[in-house]
């Protein structure tokens, strides 16, 4: 952590930040559309994004700034275990390929904007719709707050003190999201992703060359973990196998239940756009795997940090000239803006469609919807800003962990109907409630750790609590659906095609 | 063909299968390069399944 301001880095940083700010406001006129007249325009960019725009948008919004900071930080601290992000972001794509085109078709045919719209359209249940909408909004808030944490880490490393840089960045972000809707992050994602690719590809070539090659990087990390001891190391301990695999699987199933990822899916122009993206998006996963290795490079470079979140900024500052460090920091900070914008849009869409339209003003016009969503996006962002300014960072981390657990409990309601209409709305709602209650209680009583354990035959097995909660959720939904189909065989609504 | 999409799940979620140091590749322990190798393999598998499917909105995309 430095106490003097790195002026060269700050100048480069400010230049790129100003560039994307201009782009954010110009975006309203890009791919011309009447942004304020229809929620499809403001909230989904006109449902017209082709393969490449979708690739940049979903890539920019799924692989967030927080990821760039937090994954290497975890790898730096514990080693192999932190790599679960890699299998997670690989196995997510076969799932996306199978499920998301069908979900897109449903949304496209019926004009749905959110996951909760899909659930309401399928089950005609206001209760289940509200459950899915509230879960999405609550799970998204801490995620936005964490983007600010990522941005804060790089701003501090440049020597800028105080909270004003973050506040200024966020006001700018809030204004152009309000003005341009989803077109703003889609356009900015181009710049952000190209910058991130340049930074990471440079880092993974130049840094090992400076440090004596990848062999030296891995052995330096190995030495550090041997000195540290505990559940750390270049390989997993046998007790970490199940946590590693269940964290990967649970995170992969949860990833596209979030409002920001689904917004990217619904904004694409065809089912084939999504299929092609399932093939092309793993390029970002390769990048993520390389980013994770920055955690080991930090050991080889003997970086010493106060908090693990400073690993990546300190590594860049130590090994690169000031101008390139500034470029890298701008990439990470802009990398925070894209997901933060899409997340606030996703949450605003949910509020508008599934709370405001459902309960306050069912007769709302298309322009009215766009207007409610624009204002909601401002409230959501200032809520997240207040969250990071006034509450300890640990709260955001804990809530983001719980958010992943909660959002996974919407999986049965959103996805199962693509395969079978056997499940009943009441059963899915009860399963959701039991899954959330059991999962939250278990996580809470374990001191907000993502792992729960059961003892079976004298051996204790640890696993990702969200996946355990999902199993209980599905079990409840199956049993209640079976009972209901016996007691009241007639389905409550006609099956819609 | 769709069964191919299960392979990444099997290959990556069964951890004892790849939790080794040897054989190394370019200084990477097996644990790391094995998982990184699954990225292009998964893309390839999804592409194979994509090619084998009828394209329901092919004309839509052709106008691009």
SS (H, E, C) chain B: CHHHHHHHHHHHHCHHHCCCCCCCECCECHHHHHHHHHHHHHHHHHHHHHHHCCCCCHHHHHCC
Mean pLDDT of A160-178: 82
For residue A7, pLDDT over 70 is answered with yes
Higher local confidence (pLDDT), A8 or A344: A344
Cα A238 from Cα B29, distance rounded (Å): 17
Q: How far A356 CA lies from chain B's nearest CA (Å)?
A: 34
B27 touches chain A (CB under 8 A): yes
| Residue whose entry in the numeric block shows the structure tokens 């997240």 | A384
| Chain B nearest-CA residue for A272 | B57
CB count within 10 Å of CB A317 equals 23
Cα A144 from Cα A134, distance rounded (Å): 16
Residue A121 lies in a domain: yes
Q: How far A287 CA lies from chain B's nearest CA (Å)?
A: 10
- Chain A contact set for B35 (CB, 8 A): 83, 86-87, 90, 289
- Chain A contact set for B30 (CB, 8 A): none
| Chain B nearest-CA residue for A279 | B43
Higher local confidence (pLDDT), B58 or A271: A271
**Residues 6 or more apart in contact with residue A394 via CB below 8 angstroms:** none
- Rg of chain A's alpha carbons, rounded to an integer? 22
A127 touches chain B (CB under 8 A): no
Higher local confidence (pLDDT), A395 or A112: A112
A419 touches chain B (CB under 8 A): no
Residue A288 lies in a domain: yes
| Chain A nearest-CA residue for B38 | A90
Cα A421 from Cα A50, distance rounded (Å): 31
- Across the A:B interface, residue pairs with CB atoms under 8 Å apart total 111
Residue A61 lies in a domain: yes
Among A232-241, A314-323, A405-414, top mean pLDDT goes to A405-414
For residue A496, pLDDT over 50 is answered with no
User: DSSP state, A80?
Assistant: G
For residue B63, pLDDT over 50 is answered with no
Q: How far B63 CA lies from chain A's nearest CA (Å)?
A: 11
pLDDT score at A322: 84
Cα A184 from Cα A194, distance rounded (Å): 16
pLDDT tens across A461-492, in order? 888 899 999 999 999 999 999 998 888 776 55
Q: How far B28 CA lies from chain A's nearest CA (Å)?
A: 7
- Chain A contact set for B20 (CB, 8 A): 235
- Chain A contact set for B23 (CB, 8 A): none
Q: How far A176 CA lies from chain B's nearest CA (Å)?
A: 28
pLDDT tens across A375-394, in order? 998 888 888 888 878 877 77
Among A179-193, A243-257, A360-374, top mean pLDDT goes to A243-257
pLDDT score at A168: 83
* pLDDT band at B59; cut points 50, 70, 90: very low
* pLDDT band at A183; cut points 50, 70, 90: confident
**Residues 6 or more apart in contact with residue A384 via CB below 8 angstroms:** A141, A144, A145, A148, A340, A344
Interface predicted TM-score (ipTM) over 0.85: yes
What tokens were used for A359?
């309960």
Cα A335 from Cα A164, distance rounded (Å): 19
Average pLDDT value for chain A:
86
Q: Which of B12, B29, B32 sits opposite A90 (nearest CB)?
A: B12
Q: How far A103 CA lies from chain B's nearest CA (Å)?
A: 14
| Residue whose entry in the numeric block shows the structure tokens 């077109």 | A183
The answer to whether A54 and A267 have CB atoms below 8 angstroms apart is yes
A270 touches chain B (CB under 8 A): yes
Residue A228 lies in a domain: yes
| Chain A nearest-CA residue for B20 | A235
Whole-model pTM? 0.89
Burial code (b: 16+ CB inside 10 Å, e: under 16) for A281-291 equals bbbbbbbbbbb
CB count within 10 Å of CB A383 equals 14
Residue A110 lies in a domain: yes
Helix extents (H) in A212-258? 213-228, 241-255
A231 touches chain B (CB under 8 A): no
Q: How far A213 CA lies from chain B's nearest CA (Å)?
A: 8
What tokens were used for A79?
């080693």
The answer to whether A96 and A274 have CB atoms below 8 angstroms apart is yes
For residue A205, pLDDT over 60 is answered with yes
For residue A30, pLDDT over 80 is answered with no
CATH number of domain containing A98: 1.20.1730.10
Strand segments, DSSP code E, in A106-207 are: none
pLDDT score at A347: 93
pLDDT score at B57: 58
- Chain B contact set for A253 (CB, 8 A): none
Using alpha carbons, select from B35, B48, B34, B40 the residue that is nearest to residue B2.
B48
* pLDDT band at A114; cut points 50, 70, 90: very high
Residue A106 lies in a domain: yes
| Residue whose entry in the numeric block shows the structure tokens 């007790």 | A239
Question: CA triplet A199, A202, A207: central angle to 5 degrees?
Answer: 115
Among A306-310, A438-442, A449-453, top mean pLDDT goes to A438-442
pLDDT score at A35: 67
State how many domains chain A has: 1
Element (H, E) at A462: strand A459-464
* Best to test chain A binding among B14, B32, B55 (most A CBs inside 10 Å): B32
For residue A497, pLDDT over 50 is answered with no
CB contact under 8 A, B39 and A97: no
* pLDDT band at B61; cut points 50, 70, 90: very low
For residue A281, pLDDT over 50 is answered with yes
B18 touches chain A (CB under 8 A): no
The answer to whether A377 and A178 have CB atoms below 8 angstroms apart is yes
Cα A347 from Cα B56, distance rounded (Å): 31
Residue A194 lies in a domain: yes
What tokens were used for A77?
């601290």
Q: How far A220 CA lies from chain B's nearest CA (Å)?
A: 12
pLDDT score at A96: 94
CB contact under 8 A, A272 and B31: no
Residue A218 lies in a domain: yes
pLDDT score at B39: 95
Domain that holds residue A278: 7-404
A147 touches chain B (CB under 8 A): no
CB contact under 8 A, A248 and B58: no
| Percent of chain B residues topping a pLDDT of 90 | 55
- Chain B contact set for A293 (CB, 8 A): 32
pLDDT tens across A395-428, in order? 777 777 888 999 999 999 999 988 888 899 999 9
For residue A59, pLDDT over 80 is answered with yes
pLDDT score at A406: 94
């Amino acid at each position: 952590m430095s106490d003097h301001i790195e002026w060269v880095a700050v100048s480069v940083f400010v230049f790129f930040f100003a560039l994307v700010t201009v782009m954010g406001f110009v975006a309203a006129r890009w791919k011309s559309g009447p942004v304020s007249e229809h929620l499809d325009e403001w909230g989904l960019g006109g449902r017209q994004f082709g393969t490449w725009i979708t690739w940049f948008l979903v890539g920019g919004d799924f692989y967030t700034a927080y990821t760039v900071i937090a994954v290497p930080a975890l790898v730096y601290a514990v080693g192999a275990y932190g790599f679960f992000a890699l299998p997670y972001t690989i196995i997510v794509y076969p799932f996306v390929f199978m499920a998301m085109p069908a979900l897109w078709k449903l949304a496209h045919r019926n004009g749905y904007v959110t996951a909760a719209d899909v659930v309401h359209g399928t089950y005609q249940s206001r209760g289940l719709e509200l459950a899915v909408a509230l879960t999405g909004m609550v799970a998204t808030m801490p995620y936005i707050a964490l983007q600010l944490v990522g941005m804060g880490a790089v701003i501090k490393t440049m020597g800028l003190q105080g909270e004003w840089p973050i506040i200024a960045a966020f006001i700018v972000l809030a204004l152009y999201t309000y003005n341009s809707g989803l077109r703003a992050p889609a356009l900015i994602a181009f710049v952000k992703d190209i910058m991130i690719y340049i930074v990471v590809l440079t880092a993974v070539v130049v840094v090992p060359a400076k440090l004596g090659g990848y062999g030296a990087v891995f052995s330096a990390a190995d030495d550090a973990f041997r000195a540290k001891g505990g559940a750390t190391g270049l390989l997993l301990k046998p007790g970490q196998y199940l946590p590693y695999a269940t964290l990967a699987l649970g995170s992969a199933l949860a990833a596209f239940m979030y409002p920001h990822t689904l917004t990217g899916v619904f904004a694409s122009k065809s089912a084939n756009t999504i299929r092609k993206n399932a093939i092309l998006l793993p390029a970002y996963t390769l990048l993520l795997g390389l980013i994770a290795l920055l955690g080991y490079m930090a050991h080889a470079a003997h970086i010493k940090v106060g908090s693990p979140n400073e690993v990546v900024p300190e590594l860049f500052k130590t090994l690169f000239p000031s101008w390139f460090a500034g470029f890298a920091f701008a990439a990470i900070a802009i990398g925070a803006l894209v997901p933060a914008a899409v997340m606030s849009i996703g949450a605003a869409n949910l509020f508008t469609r599934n709370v405001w339209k459902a309960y306050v003003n069912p007769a709302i016009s298309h322009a009215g919807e766009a207007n409610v969503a624009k204002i909601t996006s401002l409230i959501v962002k200032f809520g997240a800003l207040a969250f990071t300014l006034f509450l300890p960072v640990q709260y955001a981390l804990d809530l983001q962990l719980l958010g992943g657990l909660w959002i996974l409990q919407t999986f049965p309601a959103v996805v199962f109907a693509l395969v079978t209409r056997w499940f009943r709305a009441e059963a899915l709602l009860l399963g959701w409630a039991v899954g959330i209650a059991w999962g939250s209680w278990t996580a809470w009583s374990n001191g907000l750790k993502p792992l729960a354990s059961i003892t079976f035959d004298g051996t204790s097995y640890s696993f990702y609590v969200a996946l355990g909660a999902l199993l209980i959720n599905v079990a409840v939904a199956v049993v209640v659906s079976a009972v209901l189909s016996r007691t009241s065989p007639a389905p409550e609504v006609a099956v819609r095609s | 063909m769709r069964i191919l999409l299960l392979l990444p799940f099997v290959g990556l979620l069964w951890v004892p299968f790849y939790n080794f140091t040897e054989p190394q590749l370019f200084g990477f322990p097996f644990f790391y390069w094995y998982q990184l190798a699954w990225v292009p393999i998964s893309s390839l598998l999804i592409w194979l399944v994509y090619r084998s499917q009828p394209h329901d909105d092919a004309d839509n995309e052709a106008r691009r």
